[in-house]
Structure 1
């Protein structure tokens, strides 16, 4: 059988490697029931062996080592370009709507008692004067014997956690809203905790919570409120994400209306 010449061999090296790499990804992308990753790996390894064999043939026929090396480098560069092209193609079609989440945590109630109608009030997540999470998702929810409802106060409408038993537990509640679509990666921090009592800076304002005066015995409470918005994917790129947080330590003996500070910052979740 006639073997390829040295020029043909070196040229084929630069062609076989990217073809094998492309075949590797095509096999992985197709829904093959029997070991797609193993088959894809075998295809690519076979391509590498063919390229090495062609390199040996070229050297045997008198090709210079640096030309064979250049062929491998060109093939590797083409593999990288194929990988980038496939990644960008897949990312362009990947869009995930952003998420609005509200986490309410009150620690220090566990083991204490109430009068059978204990109520804790926290701000509502708002945007443009409207509750950003539907009331159907906020009200009439139960979290470990705490039931939620929306109530009016002199400061405005707030989210109430009500406990109808004497033995209390800590509050740990999460509310979510997946937005319908996404149009870009830029996002402004438009969501906020209402009521807003006073704007201190663009990233800081005061709001209010209420702690039932019937909680016994008096003890320290830790109130943590986190409102997060954004973080969707637009053509494979992450949207801006903002988090509004209230961290308040309520000392023993303090109850009723308590003014707290909310801080807004751009939030970047840690990677895996």
Structure 2
């Protein structure tokens, strides 16, 4: 009787191991990464013989350090614009500049996937802090600068809530819309910091979205609402 019980217990454990192995074999592994889509439309005409500038927030951790290497943003990926990271009174922002007679809409996506080796430290130019990739994928991320949070929470405290709306900022300069022009500039910013999935375990995903319209006659820094949400991790196949 005892032998029969032991045999059944062993069979059940072996079956569970086989099931978990099969689930692991057929479950997709998703590497941790950062994905940022920027769309800015209906920009007014630029000033003649001047520099036109648009700036948007950057994906960063709770201490304000960018989680995408700065070099990934620089260059002329957007037709008619040059992109670079720029220091501002509120912290670092992504700046698009042009000296042309026409300011085309801005539409661009940035994707950076972290290293597959969880124990390997990323090269210095690819990491914001001295963290392993394993630690980084558990690190809350959002779009900064953060000008204000609900109930005056610190950014670190706010980044740990499941969802909420905080105040970020965009910047416009060098545009000359006509006084009667009542048009608006539409900012659509979509950031996803994906913790990844491995061995059936899915890490958190942090998202921040800015969908707002700014009057085309605005100039300088303009506060905008940013919607923050944490998608909780768990078993990967659920």
Q: How does the TM-score come out when normalised to structure 2?
A: 0.67
- RMSD, aligned CA: 3.1
1:246 to 1:85, Cα distance in 2 relative to 1, 3 A = closer
Match of 2:217 among 228, 253, 262: 253
Q: Partner residue of 2:205?
A: 241
Q: Partner residue of 1:102?
A: 36
CA displacement, residues 107-154 of structure 1 (integer Å, 9 cap, x when unaligned): 112xx4212421001112111332110011012242121110122222
Asked whether the 8 Å contact 2:207–2:228 carries over to 1, the reply is: yes
Gapped regions of structure 2 (runs ≥ 5): 1-15, 119-132, 152-157, 159-163, 233-238
Match of 1:171 among 91, 95, 106: 106
Bigger CA radius of gyration: 1
Asked whether the 8 Å contact 2:138–2:195 carries over to 1, the reply is: no
Asked whether the 8 Å contact 1:118–1:215 carries over to 2, the reply is: no
Q: Partner residue of 2:170?
A: 209
Match of 1:113 among 37, 45, 58: 45
1:246 to 1:90, Cα distance in 2 relative to 1, 3 A = same
Partners in 2 of 1:148 and 1:85 — Cα distance?
Answer: 47
Asked whether the 8 Å contact 1:103–1:175 carries over to 2, the reply is: yes
Larger helix percent: 1
Q: How does the TM-score come out when normalised to structure 1?
A: 0.59
Larger strand percent: 2
Question: Which of structures 1 and 2 has the larger relative contact order (alpha carbons within 8 angstroms, sep 6+)?
Answer: 2
Q: Partner residue of 1:40?
A: none
